Structure 1
Amino acid sequence: MEGKVILLVIVGTIGVMLMAFSVVFFVLLYRRKMLENQLKMQEVENQHQQEMLNATLKSQEEERNRLGTELHDGVGAMLSSIKLNLQVAKRKEGVGSLDPVLGHLDETITQVRNISHQMMPIILKKYGLKHAIEDLFSKISCDGLSASISHWDDPQIKDQDTPMLYRIVQELVNNSIKHAEASEIDFQIHNQEGKIEIEYSDNGKGYPQEVLKSSEGMGLLNIKNRAQVIDAKPTFTNGNDGGSMVKLVIERPID
């Protein structure tokens, strides 16, 4: 009798332990499923946020393009027409007092052209990315700064992607001048098998280590966001001998 009681106690204890293990197992399984669902929801949310950011950047670029075109073709043309009429009136009437007005009008036309060029570089639209970057480099080059394209393969970049890449170069140039205090800037595009490699480097101060770790300061977050829109993967590094380098890799399917 006593042996049966002991056996029942052992069996009962084992049963309770199995039930306890089962409860723990199902709790852990439930938590794992919950965590997986949370991760999936977070992934969907992150993807949605990235898609929203991409759409916003594209929309901003389209609006810049529209406003730049209106300024150049609309307001700029009207101001030029007004200037021409005033010049004709001056010649006919000999009105010397129009000289200050014509001077202010020239300044206004120049400012409108500069604003329209910043919003939508005409040369990018008419002649393509290489000429637009060369034009940008020629405008910033001076006795203390040399900027040039040392290598250019035909990159075969989509037309809708070139404005984003041009904005990235603008941001990098701004960093080189304002933060890095560089005196030399070099730009290269290599058309590799199945990918495009873009390299931008300068001989300035380089990026602070905290900026390299976060990749968010000094306009780097803007560069990363714009690179994401054109499916480019950016890397930011400092050279062993000073200066900085930014590399963009755009994967392209092989035809």
Structure 2
Amino acid sequence: MEEELFTSQEQIIEALVYGLIFLVLVTLGLILFFYYSRKKIIEKEIEKINIKLDYQERIHQTTIKVQEAERHRISQDLHDAISSKLNIISLTTHVLIEDQTMSTKNKEALKHILDITNKTLENSRVIAHKLMPPILDKFGLKEALEELFEEFTSNSSLKIEQNIVIDCIKKEDELHIFRIIQELINNSLVHGKATILKLDINKKGDFLKLKYEDNGIGFNTNDASKKSGIGLQNIKSRVAILNGIIEVSSTKNKGSLFSIKFRNYD
């Protein structure tokens, strides 16, 4: 009787052990199931976000290309249509002013018209120049950059140190590189309050390297990566258009450093 009772207890204990093992395995299985299910859901969400970001970046790059084409068209229209007609008005007004039969009162009115015409002509030239610097098309990137530096330094205490070797730059890349540097300088002055800028462009292996540094107030790169300003986003998009790589480092009150590499310059 006692032996049967002992055997019965052993069976109960054995059943409990197997039951406990089964419960542990089921629990472990459920944990693994939910873990991998959650992981897959997260991966899918990340994939969706990346697709969305890639799509937004492509839209931004396309927008930049369209903007440049439109800038070129408007600049050309300003030069060919408006500026040429204003020049005709200016020449005609000069002829009328020289007319000896013209009364003094009428000459004064014509001089006023001439003054307004010349100012409008100059404004249209400035606007056309900002939209599409003609020196870039005519003489290339180096001369365009020198003119850009002159514009920024002529009426300020800003200092720009440069070491530029750009004989290898492809013609089709020049406008984007010009805009990148232009945007970098604007950001340094407007947001960084910088007084000294350093620009180095040269070829290293099959890469074209652009290194830009300022002594401005700097910024938090983590915050910038979460929500880039329009200027920084434009820079990144133009770098992407040229299949480049950009690295940004900055410290509060210690300036900013931008290192950009452009591929396929072998």
What range is the shorter-chain TM-score in? Answer: 0.7 to 0.9
> Deviation at 1:19?
2.4
Q: Which amino acid is 2:36 matched to?
A: L
CA gap of 1:98–1:233, structure 2 versus 1, over 3 A, is same
Q: Tell me, what secondary structure is at the counterpart of 1:81?
A: helix
* Residue 235 (1) aligns with residue 244 (2): no
* Residue 253 (1) aligns with residue 253 (2): no
Q: Which has the larger radius of gyration?
A: 2
> Deviation at 1:101?
0.8
CA gap of 1:207–1:217, structure 2 versus 1, over 3 A, is farther
Q: Tell me, what secondary structure is at the counterpart of 1:154?
A: coil
Give the conservation status (yes or no) of the 8 Å contact 2:202–2:209. yes
> Which deviates more, 8-17 or 230-239?
230-239
Equivalent residue, structure 1, for 2:73: 66
* Residue 214 (1) aligns with residue 223 (2): yes
- Out of 42, 47, 61, the residue aligned to residue 40 of structure 1 is 47
Give the conservation status (yes or no) of the 8 Å contact 1:197–1:248. yes
Give the conservation status (yes or no) of the 8 Å contact 2:194–2:217. no
- Structure-1 separation of matches of 2:162 and 2:19: 82
User: 1:124-145: per-residue Cα shift (whole Å, max 9, x none)?
Assistant: 1222111111112223333743
Give the conservation status (yes or no) of the 8 Å contact 1:227–1:233. yes
Give the conservation status (yes or no) of the 8 Å contact 1:72–1:116. yes
Q: Tell me, what secondary structure is at the counterpart of 2:246?
A: strand
Equivalent residue, structure 2, for 1:193: 205
- Structure-2 separation of matches of 1:132 and 1:254: 21
> Which deviates more, 62-71 or 7-16?
7-16
> Deviation at 1:147?
5.1
- Structure-2 separation of matches of 1:135 and 1:82: 30
> Deviation at 1:180?
5.1
CA gap of 1:85–1:141, structure 2 versus 1, over 3 A, is same
Q: Which amino acid is 1:235 matched to?
A: V
Give the conservation status (yes or no) of the 8 Å contact 2:199–2:213. yes
Q: Which amino acid is 1:233 matched to?
A: I
Give the conservation status (yes or no) of the 8 Å contact 1:138–1:147. no
* Residue 31 (1) aligns with residue 38 (2): yes
Q: Which amino acid is 1:195 matched to?
A: F
Question: 5+ unaligned residues in a row in structure 1: which ranges?
Answer: none
Equivalent residue, structure 1, for 2:25: 18
- Structure-2 separation of matches of 1:8 and 1:234: 63
User: 1:58-91: per-residue Cα shift (whole Å, max 9, x none)?
Assistant: 2222211211121122211121122222223333
Q: Tell me, what secondary structure is at the counterpart of 1:63?
A: helix
- Structure-2 separation of matches of 1:187 and 1:208: 17
Q: Which amino acid is 1:207 matched to?
A: I
Q: Tell me, what secondary structure is at the counterpart of 2:163?
A: strand
- Structure-1 separation of matches of 2:168 and 2:195: 30
Runs of 4+ in 1 over 6 A off after TM superposition: none
Alignment TM-score, normalising by the size of structure 1: 0.81
Give the conservation status (yes or no) of the 8 Å contact 2:180–2:238. yes
Q: Which amino acid is 2:217 matched to?
A: Y
Equivalent residue, structure 1, for 2:16: 9
> Which deviates more, 105-114 or 130-139?
130-139
CA gap of 1:21–1:128, structure 2 versus 1, over 3 A, is same
Question: 5+ unaligned residues in a row in structure 2: which ranges?
Answer: 1-6
> Deviation at 1:155?
5.3
Give the conservation status (yes or no) of the 8 Å contact 1:137–1:147. no
